[in-house]
Amino acid sequence: MCGIVGYIGKRQAAPIILEGLSRLEYRGYDSAGIAVYDGERINIAKAAGRLKILEEMTHNGETLSGFVGIGHTRWATHGVPNTVNAHPHYNKSETIAVVHNGIIENYIGLRKMLKEKGYEFVSDTDTEVVAHLIDYYYKGNPLEAITKVLHRVEGSYALGVIFAEHPDQLFAARKDSPLIVGQNEEGCFIASDVPAILKYTRQVTYVDNQEIVRLRGDHMHFYTVDEEEIQKESVTIEWDANAAEKGGYEHFMLKEMYEQPKGVADTLLPRIKDGEVVIDELNMTDEELLSVKKIYIVACGSAYHAGVTGKYVLESLARISVEVDLASEFRYRNPVMEEGAMVIVVSQSGETADTLAALRESKKRGFKVLGIVNVVGSSIAREADSVLYTWAGPEIAVATTKAYSTQLIALYLLALKFARVRKTVGDKEFAGMLDDLKKLPDQIEMLLSNKNHIQKFANRYIGAKDIFFIGRGIDYAISLEGSLKLKEISYIHSEAYAAGELKHGTISLIEEGTLVAAVSTQPELFAKTISNMVEVKARGAFVLAVTNEGNIEIEKAADYVIYIPETNPCFANSLAIIPLQLFGYYVAVGKGCDVDKPRNLAKSVTVE
């Protein structure tokens, strides 16, 4: 959500900033802007819509000459996505420019106060308040002015600020919105995420909450909000820059679907040693694991769907009670949490505001929190008591695929670990399950190779108005994710229903030709789901079934069947989701949608 890039150094700033912003497009945005100091004044160029418009307007940055600048892609929160509301924002004399990611929650009061002092506002944004407030406190010392502002603002922010009077400095600050800084021989950089600056440096420093950075061309200084200088360690980014490129695929989403076998193998195999599940990162002895009385899984979106699967698998294998919650609900519902419980938060980005808040709430109440996180060094990874990383690699497409698949693996591993210490699974069964897990990467590969058939089928539905997904138990969890994948990128209305719940209302929406995707991978529930398929078919639905190889009985109730290879029913999600991801993808491609950057969505939801 919103992307920030800034540069100060020996090279022209604008092309570097625009390039960096293009690497952050995946975060979701609806306008873009850039401010560069040209030796006399700060010039700003902004445009609503795609970054391309800004690039064309500035001839890829050539018309904005200067060695220090800040840029921004805005995902509108306060004020419509137009040019005026786009960042950067000036102070009244246009000598200070600000970009911001996050929400200034007390902006109404601050705006009123500033208006009373004669400040005029041109935009509807909360960010403009920051520009004027810096101006208000600025008496020649930029660091002092920024620290005063940070004491006044409430909410979340990653900020980039430049001052015409101090063109040798670029300032950045952060609270609850991601921000990194980096340096090479030619200059220093700020960015919301690593891909923006990976071309220039692999040495990055994560800015922590309520820290300020003063960057010059050749060094960076870190401060607390009380202006005390602090020392910080940089980390080396190990991943390959190509990992954040499309690599010949039409979309990042397609590439990332194809990276699932590798992500699954990387997350799984190092944690299976000598026939046992070894999760060193848990930092818990078997006795401590045994003492866990209950598990809460908290997450948003697809990560929540992975959590729903995790509940079924943990309860089934380890016979431990699991509650799954949407982070946005959990954080405000004052949950009654059982003593001796463990909290698991699941997040690809590690920056999702609600999930982070749920983590903090749990820690405040004295619960240990395990993060299942993909982005190394992200806020959730740093604040959780322990982290089980999913090794999916950088995920760029807004619609998650490979991160979701690796989250499932992390949850299966935990379920098996708990099952082992709780002795709820016999040795033979356990060994069989490890074998099944190890087969998943190849089986996923095989399902992906079936993409042409699914594309053909998907093409029939590019004009669909509504599509329903049904399933029971784990199949319901798969349906939730299949439905989200489809709707978020194709804009076709879709709902997922627990199959048995359909006739309590939603079945009235079924019309002649409505597509109902029925997921049926749990042998003990086959007959029940078939009954639900027959019910919708009798009302005119076209039924697509996703089921296990050999379950040919289903052909009597389905119009089209996709078979998945044999695995333990607990792991069926990892296979059944593949054709559903492909289906959503190809419907969206067929409709000509912007698959990697669906409208209104952001990759990392850093505001509530």
Q: Which of the residues are catalytic? A: 2, 603
Does 605 help bind ligand M6R (rule: CB under 6 A)? yes
DSSP assignment of 72-111: EEE--SSS-SSTTTSSPEE-TTS-EEEEEES-BTTHHHHH
Does 352 help bind ligand M6R (rule: CB under 6 A)? yes
Q: Cβ of residue 501: shortest distance to ligand M6R, in angstroms?
A: 22
Report the 10 Å Cβ neighbour count for 386. 15
Q: Taking CB under 6 A as the criterion, which residues in 472-501 touch ligand M6R?
A: 484, 488
Among 347, 390, 573, 581, binds ligand M6R (CB under 6 A): 347
Q: Give residue 244's identity as a one-letter amino acid code.
A: A
Q: Which stretch binds ligand M6R (CB under 6 A): 198-206, 342-350, 431-439, 518-526?
A: 342-350
Residue 584 CA: distances (Å) to CA of 357, 489, 587, 588: 31, 7, 5, 6
Among 169, 192, 260, 355, binds ligand M6R (CB under 6 A): 355
Residue 468 — φ and ψ, nearest 5°? -110, 150
Q: Give residue 241's identity as a one-letter amino acid code.
A: A
Print the binding letters for residues 32-71 with ligand M6R: x by CB under 6 A, - otherwise: ----------------------------------------
C-beta of residue 224 within 8 angstroms of C-beta of residue 210? yes
Look up tokens 């990992």; give the residue.
Answer: 243
Does 126 help bind ligand M6R (rule: CB under 6 A)? no
Instruction: Pick the closer one to ligand M6R by CB: 71 or 301.
Output: 301
Burial 393-423 (b: 16+ CB within 10 A, else e): bbbbbbbbbbbbbbbbbbbbbbbbbbbbbbe
Q: Cβ of residue 604: shortest distance to ligand M6R, in angstroms?
A: 6
Residue 186 — φ and ψ, nearest 5°? -105, -5
Print the binding letters for residues 286-305 with ligand M6R: x by CB under 6 A, - otherwise: --------------xxxx--
- Site size toward ligand M6R, by CB under 6 A: 17
Q: Give residue 442's identity as a one-letter amino acid code.
A: D
Q: Cβ of residue 489: shortest distance to ligand M6R, in angstroms?
A: 8
Burial class (CB in 10 A: 0-12, 13-18, 19+), 206: buried
Q: Cβ of residue 171: shortest distance to ligand M6R, in angstroms?
A: 28
Does 399 help bind ligand M6R (rule: CB under 6 A)? yes
Shortest-Cβ-distance residue relative to ligand M6R: 301
Report the 10 Å Cβ neighbour count for 44. 19
Secondary structure tally for the chain: helices H, strands E? 18, 27
Instruction: Pick the closer one to ligand M6R by CB: 304 or 563.
Output: 304
Report the 10 Å Cβ neighbour count for 16. 24
C-beta of residue 159 within 8 angstroms of C-beta of residue 103? no
Among 398, 518, 543, 562, binds ligand M6R (CB under 6 A): 398
Q: Which stretch binds ligand M6R (CB under 6 A): 349-357, 449-457, 458-466, 523-531?
A: 349-357
Does 406 help bind ligand M6R (rule: CB under 6 A)? no
Q: Of all helices (H) and strands (E), which one includes residue 416?
A: helix 402-422
Burial 569-595 (b: 16+ CB within 10 A, else e): bbbbbbbbbbbbbbbbbbbbbbbebeb
Does 395 help bind ligand M6R (rule: CB under 6 A)? no
Q: Which stretch binds ligand M6R (CB under 6 A): 78-86, 219-227, 264-272, 600-608?
A: 600-608
Q: Cβ of residue 348: shortest distance to ligand M6R, in angstroms?
A: 3
**In whole angstroms, what is the distance from residue 122 CA to residue 103 CA?**
18
Q: Cβ of residue 328: shortest distance to ligand M6R, in angstroms?
A: 10
Q: Cβ of residue 359: shortest distance to ligand M6R, in angstroms?
A: 11
Does 400 help bind ligand M6R (rule: CB under 6 A)? yes
Q: Which stretch binds ligand M6R (CB under 6 A): 83-91, 149-157, 234-242, 346-354?
A: 346-354
Interacting residue ranges for ligand M6R, rule: CB under 6 A: 300-303, 347-349, 352, 355, 398-400, 484, 488, 601, 604-605
